[in-house]
Amino acid sequence: MKSVQPTRVRHIVLWLTVAAYMITYMDRVVISSAVPSIQKELGIDNASMGVVIGAFRWGYALFQIPGGWLGDWIGPRKALTMIVIWWSLFTSLTALSWSRSSMIAFRFLFGVGEAGAFPIATRSLSRWMLPTERGYAQGITHAGSRLGAALTPVMVVAMIAAWGWRVPFVVFGSVGVLWAAVWYWYYRDLPSQHESVNAAELETIQRAIGKGPKPGERPAVPWGRILQSYTLWRLCAMYFCYSYCLAIYLDWFPKYLNEARGLDLKTMGIYATLPLLAGTLGDFLGGWVSDRLAHGGMDLRNARRFVAVAGFLLAAAGIVPAVLASSPETCVAFTCIALFGLEVTVGVSWAIPLDIGGDFAGSVSAVMNTCGNIGGAISSTSLGFLAQAYGWNTPFLAAAGACALGAVLFSGIDANRKIFQGLENAN
């Protein structure tokens, strides 16, 4: 008798999550390409623009844990639908800004909405993806986010040239509402609830990670156990370094190319895209290589460490010559190397909350992302002041130091040290 092949519903779930990640970054980097136009119309200097850009980061950082808790409490299907609609609304409302203060308010509330995106999306995969697929899954989702960020500058510059800086915010906000409708229609919190999952796929998933909670069951988040984890806090410090560096390139690199390197708006849009495309490749390869190493027999701890430490060191080695280069082309080339290395680390970083957090991966990843985005908020908010007071080289060289520290911190992270040892398959 011919055996029935497992369905691949979990892969459709993964690709829907990739689309969500792409939308998060498209919405958040719209403003970076619009900065010169916004500053010109509203009369905002670099230091004040840093406060505007940082407002998103602070809202995003401060609401990570409530967002991750929401996903663990009511389930990713409802939670992700709610927050995507929220942040899409405030993406569009940014177009109504009439002053620095109004833009700060809109960007902060946009950040509050996006705060739950990655923790809840991570939770949404925790009961779908097999352990040997998690590094790849996190790598490809983050590759989607960086691809969205890479494509956005060119589109935004074209829209600004045709209709002004306000239109892109409305267009990109509308995309998120459409995605939320599709997600709520298709996704289910547990594979056993999805009518398209056959018995063979369900058995494959449950054999690897257990059955999980019963439908409708809402276990209390064990914050005491989570916050006592040494691995988690080392992970948080590492992610602080990562996000400190990344925020510079997402929020300020187009402006840097325009002001410090003298590129016009059109050339700025093209050159700002290239490092993010390199980062997209790094996202994909980092998670995939880590999973291949683990699947080939390497201990999971070393499979995660090897990839991430190498990525951080490559990033640090690329940033310094990029900053010191005399030509814009050389600067962008080395920046591509740096962003490739930096993004090699991210799929591995986000696989670890799944490795150690189990059914509470949303809350675990929320703590990690809170600390990371405090680093991003400090970076984005302070860069305008630093560049104005000490020149553009200073914040980039600080980012290189953060990458070196990130390598040291990741070398001590153990993906095998589960927070809830022995509980993952209890159900």
Q: Which pair of structure tokens corresponds to residue 1?
A: 């008798």
How far apart, in whole angstroms, are the C-alpha atoms of residue 75 and residue 116? 12
Predicted confidence band of residue 350 (pLDDT cuts 50, 70, 90): confident
**Do residues 148 and 141 make contact, with C-beta atoms less than 8 angstroms apart?**
no
321-343 confidence digits (pLDDT tens): 999 998 999 999 999 999 999 99
Lowest mean per-residue pLDDT among 95-99, 269-273, 400-404? 269-273
pLDDT of residue 3: 64
Q: Which pair of structure tokens corresponds to residue 14?
A: 């993964």
Q: 10 Å Cβ neighbour count for 298?
A: 14
Torsion of CA 275, 278, 279, 285, to 10 degrees: -170
Set out the domains of the chain in order of their start, with CATH numbers: 9-410 (1.20.1250.20)
pLDDT at 423 over 60: no
Helices 134-163 & 9-42, crossing angle to 10 degrees? 30
How far apart, in whole angstroms, are the C-alpha atoms of residue 246 and residue 382? 14
pLDDT at 216 over 60: no
51-78 confidence digits (pLDDT tens): 888 898 889 888 888 887 788 788 899 9
More confident: 123 or 423: 123
101-117 confidence digits (pLDDT tens): 999 999 999 999 998 88
pLDDT at 426 over 60: no
More confident: 160 or 72: 160
The mean pLDDT value of the chain amounts to 86
Give ∠ CA 239-243-248 in degrees, rounded to 5: 160
Percentage with pLDDT > 90 across the chain:
33
Q: What is the mean pLDDT of residues 213-221?
A: 61
Predicted confidence band of residue 185 (pLDDT cuts 50, 70, 90): very high
pLDDT at 7 over 70: yes
pLDDT at 425 over 50: no
Predicted confidence band of residue 315 (pLDDT cuts 50, 70, 90): very high
How far apart, in whole angstroms, are the C-alpha atoms of residue 353 and residue 193? 24
For residue 160, the Cα-to-chain-centroid distance in whole angstroms is: 26
pTM exceeds 0.85, yes or no: no
pLDDT of residue 219: 64
Predicted confidence band of residue 424 (pLDDT cuts 50, 70, 90): very low
Q: Hey, is 10 helix, strand or coil?
A: helix
pLDDT of residue 352: 86
pLDDT of residue 217: 57
Q: Which pair of structure tokens corresponds to residue 373?
A: 């985005």
**Do residues 294 and 133 make contact, with C-beta atoms less than 8 angstroms apart?**
no
